[in-house]
Amino acid sequence: MSDSLLAGQSSIWVQPDGPNTTPRYLGCHGISDVTEPMGDITLTYCPDPAVSGSFLAKNSFQTAAGSVTTSIETVMYKVADYLESLGLCTVPIYIMKVSCGRRDTFSNFDRAFVLRYAKVTSRKLGNVAARIPTNENETTQTFDISAREMLRIFKLQATRLALVETEDLTGLAICGEDRCEGTCGAIQKSDDYMWIASKALVGSASNKANAWYSDHAVWYPTTADPFAVATDIQGAVCFKMDSNVTRVLVGLGTTDAGAGLKIAYTDNSGVAWTTVTVGSTLGEFVSNGHAIFALDRYHIWVGSNGGRIYFSADGGASWTRQENAGISATAISGISFIDTLTGFAVYTGGGIAKCIDGANWSGATTSGATVATDIKAISKYEAWVTGSNGIFCTMNEAVTWVNRLAVAMGAIDFLNELYGMAVGSAASGLIYVTINGGNDWSPLALLANAGMTDVEIVDTKTAYVGGKASGGTAFLAKVVPQT
């Protein structure tokens, strides 16, 4: 059993300017308790038919969780404390548990607790003025804090999963849902049901690219394949069609010179696929799995190798063209939306297109990424792009971009505005994690690979990474807390 952590093994940090800015070490500050309300259980009743005046609990529901609360205490100095200087905006606050090494190194922690959207709600001064000469106690300040949520952060490790597939993976999709056993069905976690897409065997005229799905961590090939022989599958997305049917949609990753771009979808776990031609431009295809994006069945986008963007409002059954390669005629490497209106697209050369009404696209300042591989939108202002020369971000609607890590990257994903992962695209690439919105990226221990192509975060304890075939089989890994 590992050693328990002590109160003194800790450090406290704040980001006064918000996520993706420099964190500030608070030094001589202390926190005693943190309260994290989860929501009370309320019971509903019916009369007990067997006992007069008695009632039986027939059901229950959980009320909404309250805000996370705590207090930070420190001594008063002649200069202002960072917490005194906080303005109207909420900020992240970090409580690190540190058993070894320097406390004032942000990435040095054993466990971390992150208060999202934290705000000082009251301030108290202690021992401000003495009335007797023997009182020489330090003057203190106490800051009461309320936050929307607390993230529990762990040190992580990646473990490779066994998979019979022999070719490169081009996309991952998390298709389950978090629910308890009840009227909606059996207990389920979101990663109980997943999909992956692959390429076809190079040089084989008879090999078909496979789609795979998992049922509670057991992987199965689909009964039918979505496309013809010697063609690749690029990307996979999933969305609910109704309470019982989950549709999975994939893109054709190889040109069909006599037809337009193609997608295929299945409503029955790959027993049968429906193929749909998207647009009328002959020879178009999906050249990157991240160029397919679905918010839900009514809002799906796909980008082509020719720079066109198509939209479906009916689960992929029909498509309209939104962007006709007017911004760029180069391949689209990724599309990402935050809601039904606002999204970004990145072209292979790092060029950026943005959309603010769900339908019309305009060009923006290039990201700086060369051989761009993926894009992730966080808000209407913030987006992240990966490419062969690293990770780039914008915080001002793609007006300017900053390089945050100069390492070749294949994909990026964020759980929220603070917690994200990026994966290396070159052989022996690393998995990088950020917990402060991208200002700092820390690598996990190396897991042998030939380059990674996709990452999907489930929560702060679970993520999945796909990549190029390595050691004779496709690369699929799961990221979990260290043991």
Number of domains in the chain: 2
In this structure, are 114 and 221 located in the same domain? no
In this structure, are 425 and 451 located in the same domain? yes
- Residue 439 C-beta-side C-alpha neighbours within 13 Å: 17
Q: Are 312 and 300 in contact (CB under 8 A)?
A: yes
In this structure, are 136 and 182 located in the same domain? no
In the listed set 90, 125, 154, which residue is the last one of a domain according to the structure? 154
Is residue 223 included in any domain, yes or no?
yes
In the listed set 96, 125, 154, which residue is the last one of a domain according to the structure? 154
User: Which amino acid does the sequence have at 327?
Assistant: I
Is residue 288 included in any domain, yes or no?
yes
Is residue 50 included in any domain, yes or no?
no
In this structure, are 80 and 226 located in the same domain? no
Which residues span the domain enclosing 14? Answer: 10-45+56-154
The two tokens of residue 199 are 């390429």
In this structure, are 348 and 469 located in the same domain? yes
Is residue 51 included in any domain, yes or no?
no
pTM: 0.96
Q: Are 235 and 197 in contact (CB under 8 A)?
A: yes
In this structure, are 168 and 147 located in the same domain? no
Q: How far apart are CA 460 and CA 443, in angstroms?
A: 15
Q: How far apart are CA 352 and CA 347, in angstroms?
A: 6
Is residue 101 included in any domain, yes or no?
yes
In this structure, are 60 and 185 located in the same domain? no
Is residue 262 included in any domain, yes or no?
yes
Is residue 256 included in any domain, yes or no?
yes
In this structure, are 184 and 325 located in the same domain? yes
In this structure, are 131 and 270 located in the same domain? no
**Residue 39 maps to which CATH number?**
2.30.110
**Residue 360 maps to which CATH number?**
2.130.10.10
The two tokens of residue 142 are 């106490």
Is residue 180 included in any domain, yes or no?
yes
Q: pLDDT tens track of the chain, all 483 residues?
A: 568 999 999 999 999 999 999 999 999 999 999 999 999 999 999 999 999 989 999 998 889 999 999 999 999 999 999 999 888 899 999 999 999 999 999 999 999 999 999 999 999 999 999 888 888 899 999 999 999 999 999 999 999 999 999 999 999 999 999 998 888 889 999 999 999 999 999 888 889 999 999 999 999 999 999 999 999 999 999 999 998 999 999 999 999 989 999 999 999 999 999 999 999 999 999 999 999 999 999 999 999 999 999 999 999 999 999 999 999 999 999 999 999 999 999 999 999 999 999 999 999 999 999 999 999 999 999 999 999 999 999 999 999 999 999 999 999 999 999 999 999 999 999 999 999 999 999 999 999 999 999 999 999 999 999 999 999 999 999 999 998
In the listed set 94, 120, 154, which residue is the last one of a domain according to the structure? 154
In this structure, are 429 and 451 located in the same domain? yes
* Phi/psi of residue 294, nearest 5 degrees: -130, 120
In this structure, are 170 and 22 located in the same domain? no
Query: CA-based Rg of the chain, rounded to a whole angstrom?
Result: 26
In this structure, are 112 and 96 located in the same domain? yes
